[in-house]
């Protein structure tokens, strides 16, 4: 089987690595980058064949930085997947639950396990830069009173032990990732089933401009799965709008909608058309 290198942000064992596996199967080899921008750049410069980037979490909201990168880099979206976020309490081998006094993890993960901390008030929460990175650290430093909150993959990779599974407050915790490739390369995923088109546009700063832009879709019965606004640099209090439309870009009504939107929008860019994730 031919390997596919895919850049992602975080340490090995991050939820992004789970997304790499869901998207690319056993062929996918996750390449860790410290920052999101580096994951985009690795793909732009051809050091990897794909990038796997989180865009949205159902509790925490959009990963806004990545919307900015999607605009700036010219790396089309060719697929998507959602990962169920399961937080586990993980300790180095030989460290039992009774000994744990401190728990390390990314602040977002700590905040998603508030019921667990309320039930165990003797545990100190310590913010760390990364979920999987906190497992790596407690194992490397051989801490005897510390645990980390991370994915089960992180426990596996760093040879640590899961003390308690699924300690997150809310089971409806999913993160949506997009698969990016370089322009003109063959899609890595099978192009079958229903499709989605992602766009970004600006409107003229006139009353009703967003409403009129959305009419391009609504009047053609095209559904939006998501809309996100971001500030437009250099034009205070004006915005870019990102939308995901549940239709193939090649479908006649979608072509007409894009033509209509072009009449109304100052700027329009297609970010990708790809098979809808489950």
**Which two three-digit tokens encode residue 139?**
């194992």
Q: Cβ 159 to a second copy, closest distance in Å?
A: 30
When binding is defined by CB under 8 A, the residue of 8, 40, 116, 217 that contacts a second copy is 217
Closer by beta carbon to a second copy, 117 or else 174: 174
Q: Restricting to residues 236-265, name those near a second copy by CB under 8 A.
A: 236-237, 239
Q: Which of 177, 201, 217, 241 is catalytic?
A: 177
Report how far residue 215's alpha carbon sits from residue 200's, in angstroms, rounded to the nearest whole number: 15
CA distance 153 to 99: 23
Instruction: Rule CB under 8 A: say whether 215 interacts with a second copy.
Output: yes
How far apart (Å, rounded) are the C-alpha atoms in residues 70 and 199?
10
Active site residue 177: yes
Nearer Cβ to a second copy (201/217): 217
Using rule CB under 8 A, residue 224 touches a second copy: yes
* 132: Cβ contacts below 8 Å, ≥ 6 apart: 10, 11, 12, 13, 14, 17, 150, 151, 153, 154, 157, 158
Q: How far is the CB of 108 from a second copy (least distance, A)?
A: 11
Least distance to a second copy, CB of residue 161, Å: 30
Strand partners, 162: 90
Binding track over 83-112 against a second copy, x by CB under 8 A: ------------------------------
The shares of helix, strand and coil residues in the chain, as percent rounded to the nearest 5, are 30, 35, 35
* 214 counts as binding a second copy under rule CB under 8 A: yes
175 is catalytic: yes
- Looking at the Cβ atoms of 225 and 250, the one nearer to a second copy is 225
Write the CB contacts of 109 (distance below 8 Å, at least 6 apart in sequence): 87, 131, 149, 150
Q: Binding residue for a second copy (CB under 8 A) from 161, 230, 253, 260?
A: 230
Size of the site for a second copy (CB under 8 A): 37
- What is the helix (H) or strand (E) element at residue 254, kind and residue range? helix 252-264
On whether the CB atoms of residues 76 and 43 are closer than 8 A, the answer is no
Task: Using CB under 8 A, list all residues that contact a second copy.
Answer: 56-62, 64, 170, 172, 174, 207-208, 210-212, 214-215, 217-218, 221-231, 233-237, 239
Residues catalogued as catalytic: 175, 177
């Amino acid at each position: 089987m031919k390997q596919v290198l895919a850049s992602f942000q975080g340490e090995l064992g991050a939820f992004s690595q789970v997304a790499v596996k869901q998207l690319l199967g056993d062929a996918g080899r996750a390449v860790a980058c410290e920052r999101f921008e580096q994951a985009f750049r690795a793909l732009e410069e051809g050091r990897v064949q794909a990038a796997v980037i989180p865009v949205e979490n159902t509790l925490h909201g959009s990963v806004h930085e990545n919307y900015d990168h999607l605009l700036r880099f010219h790396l089309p979206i060719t697929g998507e997947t959602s990962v169920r976020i399961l937080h586990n309490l993980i300790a180095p081998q030989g460290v039992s639950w009774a000994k744990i006094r401190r728990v390390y993890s990314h602040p977002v993960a700590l905040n998603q396990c508030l019921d667990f901390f309320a039930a165990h008030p003797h545990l100190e929460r310590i913010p760390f830069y990364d979920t999987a990175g906190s497992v790596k650290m407690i194992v490397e430093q051989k801490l005897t009173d510390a645990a980390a909150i991370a994915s089960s993959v992180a426990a596996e990779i760093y040879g640590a032990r899961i003390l308690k599974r699924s300690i997150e407050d809310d089971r409806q915790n999913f993160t949506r990732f997009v698969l990016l490739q370089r322009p003109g390369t063959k899609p890595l995923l099978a192009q079958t089933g229903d499709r989605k088109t992602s766009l970004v546009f600006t409107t003229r700063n006139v009353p009703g401009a967003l409403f009129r832009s959305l009419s391009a879709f609504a009047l053609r019965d095209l559904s939006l799965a998501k809309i996100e606004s971001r500030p437009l640099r250099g034009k205070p209090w004006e915005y870019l709008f990102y939308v995901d439309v549940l239709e193939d870009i090649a479908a006649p009504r979608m072509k007409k909608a894009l033509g209509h939107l072009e009449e109304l929008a100052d700027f329009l860019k297609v970010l990708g058309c790809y098979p809808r994730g489950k």
